[in-house]
Structure 1
Amino acid sequence: MAGGKLSARQKMINLMYLVFIAMLALNMSKEVLSAFGLMNEKLTESNEIAEERNEAFMQGLAEKVSEQPAKYQPLKQQADQISKLADDFNAYLTELKGKMTATVDDPTDYEIMDKGDYLDENFFKGDKLKPEGQEFLDEIAKFREGVVAVLQQNPDLADIADDVEKKFATEPVVNRDGNKIDWLDYHYKGFPLVASLTKMTQLQADVKTTESEVLSSMLAGKLKVEASLTNFDAIVVPDKTAFFSGEDFTGRIILGKNDKTLKADKVVINGTELPDTSMQAGQTLLKFPAGAVGEREIEGEFQFKEGDSIITIPVKSTYAVVPKPNSATISADKMNVVYRGVSNPMTISFAGVSDNNVSASAPGLSKVSGVGKYVMNPGKGREVSINVTGTLPDGTKVSDNAKFRIKDIPKPTGTISGQDGLVKLPRNSVEIGTVGAKLDDFDFDLPIQVTSFKFKVPGQPSVNVNGTKLNSQAKNALRKARRGDNVQIFDIKAQIRGNSSYKLKGVSAVIVEITN
Structure 2
Amino acid sequence: MALPKDPRQKMINFMYLVLTAMLALNVSAEILNAFNIVNNSINTSNSSITDKNNIVYDQFEKQMGENPLKVGPLRTKAQQVKKLSSDMYAYIESLKEKIIQESGGRDENGEIKSKDNLDAPTRVMENQKQGPALEGKLKELRTRLLTYIDPKLKAQFEKTLPLKIEVSKLNTGHDGVGVKPKSWTTYHFNMVPTIAAVTILGKFQNDIKNSEALVIDELFRQIDADNFKFDKVRPFISLNSKNLMEGQTLTAQIAVGAYSSTVNPTITVNGQTIQASEGLGTFTMPVSGIGEKTISGTITLPKPNGEMESYNFTETYNVGASTTSISADKMNVLYIGLPNPISISAAGVPAESVNASISVGNIRKQGAGNYIVTVTNPGRAIINVTANVDGKTKSLGSKEFRVKMIPDPVLKVGMNKSGVMKAADFKVQGGLRADLENFEFEGVRYDVVSYRVGIESRGRDYVEGDANSAYFPSSVVPAIRSLRAGDQVYFDNVKVKGPDGIVRSMGNTSFKLN
TM-score (structure 2 length as normaliser): 0.51
Partner Cα separation in structure 2 for residue 38 and residue 290 of structure 1: 85
2:41 — aligned with what? 42
Aligned to 1:117: 119
> What letter matches 1:120 in structure 2?
T
2:165 maps to which residue? Answer: 169
Alignment of 1:90 onto 2:92: no
Cα pair 2:3 2:13 within 8 Å, conserved: no
CA distance in 1, matches of 2:100, 2:307: 63
Alignment correspondent of 1:143: 141
Please, which runs of 5 or more residues in structure 1 have no aligned partner? 327-350, 355-387, 398-516
Report what 2:12 is aligned to.
Answer: 13
Inter-partner Cα distance in structure 2 for 1:195 and 1:51: 23
Q: CA deviation at 1:49?
A: 0.7
Secondary structure of 1:301's match? Answer: strand
Q: 1:171 to 1:11 in 2, by over 3 A?
A: closer
* Cα distance change, pair 3–286 in 1 and its aligned pair in 2 (3 A): closer
- In 2 relative to 1, CA 222–242 (structure 1 residues): closer, same or farther, beyond 3 Å? same
SS at match of 1:168: coil
**8 A contact 1:260–1:283 mirrored in 2:** no
- Alpha-carbon offset, residue 69 of structure 1: 2.1
Please state how far the C-alpha of 1:310 moved relative to its aligned partner: 9.6
CA apart distance, 1:169: 1.9
Gaps of 5+ in 2: 246-251, 325-346, 351-387, 398-514
> Distance between the aligned counterparts of 1:41 and 1:311, measured in 2?
51
Partner of 1:301: 298
- 1:24, CA displacement in angstroms? 0.9
In structure 2, relative to structure 1, the CA distance for the partners of 1:41 and 1:25 (3 Å cut) is same
- The alpha-carbon deviation at position 220 of structure 1 amounts to 4.3
Shift of the alpha carbon at 1:237? 6.8
The equivalent of 1:160 in structure 2 is: 157
Task: Tell me the secondary structure at the aligned position of residue 93 of structure 1.
Answer: helix
Q: Structure 1 pair 262/191, CA: closer, same or farther in 2 (3 Å)?
A: closer
Inter-partner Cα distance in structure 1 for 2:76 and 2:303: 29
Structure 1 equivalent of residue 201 of structure 2: 200
- Paired residue for 1:187? 188
Task: Give the corresponding residue for 2:361.
Answer: none
Q: How many residues align?
A: 322
Structure 2 counterpart of 1:428: none
1:242 is displaced (CA, Å) by 4.9
**Matches of 1:290 and 1:134 in 2, distance apart?**
86
Could you tell me the TM-score, scaled by structure 1's length?
0.51
CA distance in 2, matches of 1:200, 1:101: 12
Deviation at 1:40, TM superposition (A): 0.4
Task: Please tell me whether the aligned partners of residues 2 and 14 of structure 1 are also in contact (alpha carbons under 8 angstroms).
Answer: no
1:114/1:262 CA distance change after superposition, 3 Å: closer
Q: Secondary structure of the residue that 2:313 maps to in structure 1? A: strand
Is 1:56 matched up with 2:58? no
Over 3 Å counting, the alpha-carbon distance change for 1:286 and 1:4 in structure 2 is closer
Instruction: Measure, in 2, the Cα distance between the counterparts of 1:318 and 1:297.
Output: 6
What residue is the counterpart of 1:390 in the other structure?
A: 390
For residues 211 and 167 of structure 1, do their structure 2 counterparts lie closer, same or farther at Cα, with a shift above 3 Å needed? closer
Q: Percent sequence identity over matched residues?
A: 23
Matched residues in 2 for 1:59 and 1:290: separation? 60
C-alpha spacing 1:255/1:209, structure 2 compared with 1 (3 Å):
same
Q: CA deviation at 1:100?
A: 2.5
Distance in 2 between residues matched to 1:275 and 1:237, nearest whole Å: 19
Q: How do 1:41-440 and structure 2 match up within 5 A?
A: 41-102=40-101, 103-106=104-107, 109=111, 112-125=114-127, 130=129, 132-151=130-149, 153-164=150-161, 167-169=163-165, 175-177=171-173, 178=176, 179-220=180-221, 222-227=223-228, 239-244=238-243, 257-259=258-260, 263-265=264-266, 267-269=267-269, 271-273=270-272, 282-285=280-283, 299-303=296-300, 311=308, 313-317=310-314, 389-390=389-390, 396=396
Q: What is the letter of the counterpart of residue 123 of structure 1?
A: M
1:133 deviates by: 4.0
Matching residue of 2:336: none
Q: CA deviation at 1:52?
A: 0.5
Measured in 2, the distance between the counterparts of 1:310 and 1:138 equals 40
Letter in 1 for 2:124: N
Question: Counterparts of 1:85 and 1:191 in 2: how far apart (Å)?
Answer: 29
Cα deviation, residue 280, structure 1: 9.0
Deviations 1:89-144 (A, max 9, x none): 1111122222222332427555722223333333334xxx63x4443233212311
SS class of match (2:390)? strand
Higher radius of gyration, 1 or 2: 2
Q: How does 1:469-508 map to 2 (within 5 A)?
A: none
Once residues 206 and 296 of structure 2 are traced to their aligned partners in structure 1, the CA distance between those partners, rounded to angstroms, is 56
Distance 2:194 2:316 in 1: 78
